[in-house]
Amino acid sequence: MRFLLIFFLSISLVYGQKPNVILIYVDDLGYGDLGSYGSKTIKTPHMDRLAKQGLRFTQAYSTSATCTPSRYSLLTGSYAVRRKDTGIATGDASALILPGQQTIASIFSKAGYQSSAIGKWHLGLGPQGGPNWNGKITQGPLDIGFTEAFILPATGDRVPCVYVENDQVLGLQANDPIQVSYTKKIGDMPTGKENPELLRMKHSHGHDQSIVNGVGRIGFMQGGNAALWKDEDIAQRLTDRAKSFMRRNQKSPFFLYFATHDIHVPRLPHVKFLGKSGYGNRGDALLQLDDSVGQLMKTLDSLHLTQNTLVILTSDNGPVVDDGYHDQSKELLGNHQPAAHLKGGKYSSFEAGTRVPFIISWPAKVKKGQSDALVSQIDLVSSMAALVGQSVDASQAKDSENQLATWTGQSKKSRAYIIEQAGSLAIRQGDWKYISPSKGQAVNALVGIELGNNPADQLYDLSKDPSEKNNLAMENPNKAQELKSLLRALMEK
Ligand code: NG6
Ligand code: CA
């Protein structure tokens, strides 16, 4: 105990006054989307400024190629794949993280931080059977350590299309209650399937259920008219909330989990950005995202908090161009390469599914530069706990390691391995990447992405073959077997 105390005190001494921490968790941002990661097309000056003043990681991973499992792992430090129920959650799913469970927010809270969850949640809310949209929404961010919250319950394309402020739907009127169903049509709201003439943006696949704000969604809803969001306003509303949170807490250390809706579908950026990138709505949403980041940085500057604020910018999974709406992103993609040289994309076990931009800026402590160390978002919990001198219940954050030295550039040491969850589970160790056999489809033709599923073992040498073209599993069966056994052992841990 005494040893632990001295250990944590010494960490606090090394790192000095408690820094603020902002985690900018972008939705579906690809490895090749930012200027600082080599893009020469869509301009991202504010995110590039973060990279310029901070440490840019070239080998960083989300834990999964889709949202819900990535977020679950990030917040808890335990791989979502250990559970059976952490696929892409519906908009009426019950809470995946239960009250009292240790999360990154509860750790910051123990360290005396104020914390806010702003933006996309997509981790379920409420007890079994789902949340009570018309009353107090229990089992949400406030129950797992956040001191305040302003969230979209699931995704922009899933009903209910309302904001939840702390534990209530914002702007709901008692005489117009919300009902939600993911199984059958309810109420008289038009649907994309029955009334396509009412759509202002057509769906390319899925998204043909309730029409909200002229856009077909996943799921059916009824009521809550005064509470419905306007897609074009989401980015600025979230940004305003974040700015107000920072201003209100400028004197106490804070942790801001800023989970943007951008650049997920439906991409309906504000008219200020519409048509401005020349690369369709995805490009325009990227401009909007960059603007939001710029506003947060400007707020830090004006509050004189830039020096001692640790900002992490990363993404929950890799990129997708057509994720279900005709929004000109495919037609106008031109020479923009959202995944850079990587194979696959969102949903894929290939590298583009989980290799994402990862930037850490903390001018007071982190030297600017580039790190090629292997890092994973799974280590957020333990690394941030170390930063603020808190212990971690390792039985809950089973997979999270303290990688603070690498994250802050004091060490170049890589994580021993990276686990990548998609249709098939993959593992990377050093430059070797192994993908488990899977009977799933090889290509998702609707989104145009190679998923990495193959009934046989796959083994790639990323040092020589970064785009995963040559499967070496037959040539090097021992290596394939070694990684397969390691993956199995880690999953049985
Ligand atoms: C898919 C949706 C896609 C997106 C994704 C989740 C269809 C046809 N596709 O099922 O649009 O919502 O789920 O994305 O409905 S994520 O980033 O939240 O994981
Ligand atoms: Ca996502």
Tokens of 463: 């040092």
Q: What is the pLDDT of residues 39-53, one digit of tens each?
A: 999 999 999 999 999
For a ligand 1 pocket test, name from 264, 326, 330, 356 the mutation site with the most ligand atoms within 8 angstroms of its C-beta. Answer: 264
- Residue 321 CA to residue 80 CA, distance in Å, equals 25
Q: Is the CB of 209 under 6 A from ligand 1?
A: no
Q: Are residues 311 and 440 in the same domain?
A: no
Q: Is the CB of 324 under 6 A from ligand 1?
A: yes
Could you tell me if residue 206 is inside a domain?
Answer: no
Question: Residue 404's CB: how many other CB atoms inside 10 A?
Answer: 19
Residue ending a domain, among 358, 375, 407, is 407
CB 367 within 8 A of CB 55: yes
Residue ending a domain, among 376, 407, 438, is 407
What is the structure's pLDDT at 493? 86
Please identify every residue whose CB atom is under 5 Å from ligand 2, which is an ion.
27-28, 67, 316-317
Question: Residue 35's CB: how many other CB atoms inside 10 A?
Answer: 18
* Nearest ligand 1 atom, CA 66: 19
H or E element, residue 433:
strand 432-435
CATH number at residue 366: 3.40.720.10
Q: How far, in Å, is the centroid of ligand 2 from the Cα of 12?
A: 34
CB 343 within 8 A of CB 352: yes
- 């979502």: which residue's tokens? 80
Q: Are residues 399 and 437 in the same domain?
A: no
Q: What is the pLDDT of residues 326-346, one digit of tens each?
A: 999 999 999 999 999 999 999
Nearest C-alpha neighbor of 202 from the set 303, 327, 105, 322: 327
- Residue 146 CA to residue 115 CA, distance in Å, equals 5
CATH number at residue 443: 3.30.1120.10
- Residue 128 CA to residue 93 CA, distance in Å, equals 8
Q: Are residues 390 and 297 in the same domain?
A: yes
Q: Which domain holds residue 479?
A: 423-492
Could you tell me if residue 369 is inside a domain?
Answer: yes
Q: Is the CB of 155 under 6 A from ligand 1?
A: yes
Q: Are residues 344 and 428 in the same domain?
A: no
Q: How far, in Å, is the centroid of ligand 2 from the Cα of 320?
A: 9
Tokens of 12: 């606090």
CB 332 within 8 A of CB 450: no
Q: Are residues 139 and 288 in the same domain?
A: yes
Q: What is the pLDDT of residues 223-250, one digit of tens each?
A: 999 999 999 999 999 999 999 999 999 9
* Nearest ligand 1 atom, CA 157: 12
Nearest C-alpha neighbor of 330 from the set 280, 287, 288: 280
- Residue 441 CA to residue 259 CA, distance in Å, equals 30
Question: 39 φ, ψ to 5°?
Answer: -70, 135
Could you tell me if residue 194 is inside a domain?
Answer: no
- Residue 258 CA to residue 451 CA, distance in Å, equals 29
Residue ending a domain, among 341, 374, 407, is 407
Could you tell me if residue 324 is inside a domain?
Answer: yes
Could you tell me if residue 417 is inside a domain?
Answer: no
* Nearest ligand 1 atom, CA 446: 8
Q: Are residues 245 and 141 in the same domain?
A: yes
* Nearest ligand 1 atom, CA 122: 18
Q: Are residues 244 and 97 in the same domain?
A: yes
Q: How far, in Å, is the centroid of ligand 1 from the Cα of 279?
A: 21
Q: Are residues 440 and 391 in the same domain?
A: no
- 């060490």: which residue's tokens? 411
Q: Are residues 326 and 436 in the same domain?
A: no
pTM of the model: 0.96
* Nearest ligand 1 atom, CA 218: 15
What is the structure's pLDDT at 16? 62
In Å, how far from its chain's centre is CA 462?
A: 24
Q: Are residues 435 and 319 in the same domain?
A: no
CB 277 within 8 A of CB 284: yes
Q: Is the CB of 143 under 6 A from ligand 1?
A: no
Could you tell me if residue 456 is inside a domain?
Answer: yes
Q: Is the CB of 27 under 6 A from ligand 1?
A: yes
Question: Residue 274's CB: how many other CB atoms inside 10 A?
Answer: 16
Q: Are residues 82 and 227 in the same domain?
A: yes
What is the structure's pLDDT at 31? 98
Q: Are residues 350 and 436 in the same domain?
A: no
H or E element, residue 275:
none
Q: What is the pLDDT of residues 104-158, one digit of tens each?
A: 999 999 999 999 999 999 999 999 999 999 999 999 999 999 999 999 999 999 9
Could you tell me if residue 15 is inside a domain?
Answer: no
The total number of structural domains in the chain stands at 2
Mean pLDDT by 10 residues, the chain (493 residues): 49 68 99 98 98 98 98 98 92 97 98 98 97 98 98 98 98 98 96 98 97 98 98 98 98 98 98 98 98 98 98 98 98 98 98 98 98 98 98 97 98 98 97 97 98 98 98 98 98 92
User: Going by CA atoms, what residue is nearest to atom 13 of ligand 1?
Assistant: 88
Could you tell me if residue 287 is inside a domain?
Answer: yes
- Residue 115 CA to residue 22 CA, distance in Å, equals 10
